[in-house]
Amino acid sequence: MSRSRLEACVCWRRCCIRFGGQKAGQRLRVGTQPPTSATKISNMRPSIDVVVPCYNYAHYLENCVQSVLSQEDVDVRVLIIDDVSKDNSVEVAERLAAADSRVSVLKHTVNKGLVGTANDGVIDWATAKYTLLLSADDALTQGALRRAASVMDAHPDVAVAYGMALVISDNTDMTPVDDARVFDYKIISGNDFIERACTSWCGVASPTALIRTSAQHEVGGLDPRFPQTCDMEIWLRLATRANVAALSTTQAYYRRHDANMSSITTDQPLSDLREQLETVVAVLTDWGKNLASTPRWLDVIHKRVAVQACWKAGLAFQNDNVSGGMTCLEFAKTASPAITKSAPWMRAQAKRLLGGKLVRLMRGGTVSSTHSFTPFYRGKLFGWWPTESAARSMTLPHQPPAGRQAVEEPFPAQRRSAR
């Protein structure tokens, strides 16, 4: 084969991978390999490629990368992608690469944002059995990759494995976590995972989400239409084709600070509700149209975000942010017109009519305490641990729980319910 023809074939393959090489309605081919015995799993070293997008996170970068390189019983590679940082991120990245051959650096000349940067890694670079997208301000706990990979090795039908994350603000919050070698995990059907995302929230901390690379390449890269919810979108897309695993162990340190994209979004009156809705609608329309529950899921997600938008409107009115409150109510009405006859809508309207000052006085204080619309609380665990009705419980090493008490929902990291 000529060089030009070979290059053309490679280019075509990359295009197919980036934009999804599988038709809607098909199952991923991740369950076709034969089951692996527990003994064989223990002797294998899974290959894992870790993509670390970095933009002005030089002060976090080394801690992040070292948490990956120190993982035991796995073969890792790390690609640091600098998205034209204004600090010394490139200098730190190149120093780390010079010190360890497993680390590579890709330097952008034009800022691509999170989605473009992530796709350069998870689609164009990753070739290992599993892939992890890890922000430069987050870090892994000891044994995290081995635990997640061992579950996925045992269950070829699983495309995503996630665990719990300890929410931190600075490095002093990174309390040591036991390197658990016996732990509980649950297999969640793709349908049940989508159901949860529609009825409540997705419940996955991104630094814990290990993805089967072949599955990622079959459904394509992250969607640039959803910069705030691109991770949720890819998990849901994978869930239309495969199952998901939840580990009971703390798998990562999830850093929350003012520079987080998600922190900036959740502090806005409407939070990311609009993009949440658009994301679920897009996935179910494009990838879930052959799933029997899709019509019901679409109805549920519209009603859920409408109720939450009314709650957000009430908070905005309580804090004298009338325009923000009206934005929330307009969105709620658009998402689900019937919301205007509901109690959440009436409560929000009552706060608008009373005015913030009177509402605050009625609540026993002159200053309102506003909380971000977020499930992340410093020092707490974050992650959805499903109930028995939503998953099959198992324990590693590969034995039934045998009397061990599995933790049931709610997990210690609970999301504040919308009122």
The domain that holds 236 is classified in CATH as 3.90.550.10
Q: What is the pLDDT of residue 38?
A: 35
Q: Are 212 and 241 in contact (CB under 8 A)?
A: no
Closest CA to 413 of 368, 386, 375, 361: 375
Among residues 175, 188, 176, 181, the alpha carbon closest in space to that of 147 is found at 181
pLDDT, residue 201, reads: 82
* DSSP one-letter string for 163-214: EEEEEESSGGG-------SSEEEEEE-HHHHHHHHHHT-----GGG-EEEHH
Tell me how far apart the alpha carbons of residues 358 and 347 are, in angstroms, rounded to a whole number.
Answer: 14
Clarify whether residues 200 and 308 are in a common domain.
no
Q: Determine which of 26-30, 329-333, 408-412 has the lowest per-residue pLDDT on average.
A: 408-412
Same-domain pairing of 113 and 238: yes
Domain identity same for 113 and 148: yes
pLDDT at 375: 62
Residues 307 and 241 in one domain: no
User: Would you place residue 395 in the very low, low, confident or very high pLDDT band (cuts 50, 70, 90)?
Assistant: low
**Residue pair 289/411 in contact by the 8 Å Cβ criterion:** no
Average pLDDT, the chain: 83
Could you tell me if 91 and 121 lie in one domain?
yes
Q: Express each pLDDT in 77-90 by its tens digit.
A: 999 999 999 999 99
Average pLDDT estimate for 279-303: 97
What are the C-alpha distances in Å from 251 to residues 130, 155, 189, 309?
A: 16, 19, 21, 32
Q: Which residues contact 73 (CB under 8 A, 6 or more apart)?
A: 45, 143, 146
Q: Is residue 58 part of a domain?
A: yes
Residue 8, pLDDT > 80, answer: no
Higher pLDDT residue, 109 or 7? 109
Among 274, 266, 367, residue whose Cα is nearest residue 327: 274
Give pLDDT, residue 357: 84
The Cα–Cα gap between 157 and 100 comes to 34
Residue 38 covered by a domain: no
Query: Rounded to whole angstroms, how far apart are CA atoms 262 and 272?
Result: 8
Q: Domain check: are 114 and 237 in the same one?
A: yes
149-172 confidence digits (pLDDT tens): 999 999 999 999 999 999 998 777
Please say if the pLDDT value at position 15 is more than 80: no
Handedness of CA 317, 332, 205, 267 (dihedral sign): negative
297 with 205, same domain?
A: no
Residue 246 domain boundaries: 47-258+378-396
Q: What is the pLDDT of residue 126?
A: 98
Supply the DSSP string of 257-319, one letter for each residue: -TT-HHHHHHTSTTTTHHHHHHHHHHHHHHT-TTSTTHHHHHHHHHHHHHHHHHHHHHHHHHT
For residues 381 and 402, the model is more confident at 381
Same domain, 222 and 338: no
Q: pLDDT for 186-198, tens place per residue?
A: 999 999 999 999 9
Predicted confidence at residue 369, as pLDDT, reads 45
Element housing 38 (H / E): helix 38-43
Question: Which position has the token pair 């923000």?
Answer: 324
Determine the pLDDT at residue 226: 96
Answer yes or no: is 278 within a domain: yes
Q: How many structural domains are present in the chain?
A: 2
| 199, 291: one domain | no
- Whether residue 31 has pLDDT greater than 50: no
More confident residue, 23 or 355: 355
- The verdict on residue 133 lying in a domain is yes
144 and 73 in a common domain: yes
The predicted pLDDT at position 387 comes to 78
On whether residue 22 sits in a domain, the answer given is: no
pLDDT in tens, 36-47: 333 234 456 999
Residue 122 is assigned to a structural domain of this protein: yes
Q: Is residue 82 part of a domain?
A: yes
Q: How far apart are CA 234 and CA 58, in angstroms?
A: 27
* Same domain for 204 and 89: yes
Residue 355 and residue 281 in one domain: yes
Residue 270, Ramachandran bin (φ over 0: left; ψ between -120 and 50: alpha; else beta): alpha
Q: What is the pTM of this model?
A: 0.81
Residue 266 lies in a domain: no
Give the single-character DSSP code of 399.
B
Question: In one letter, which amino acid is 352?
Answer: R
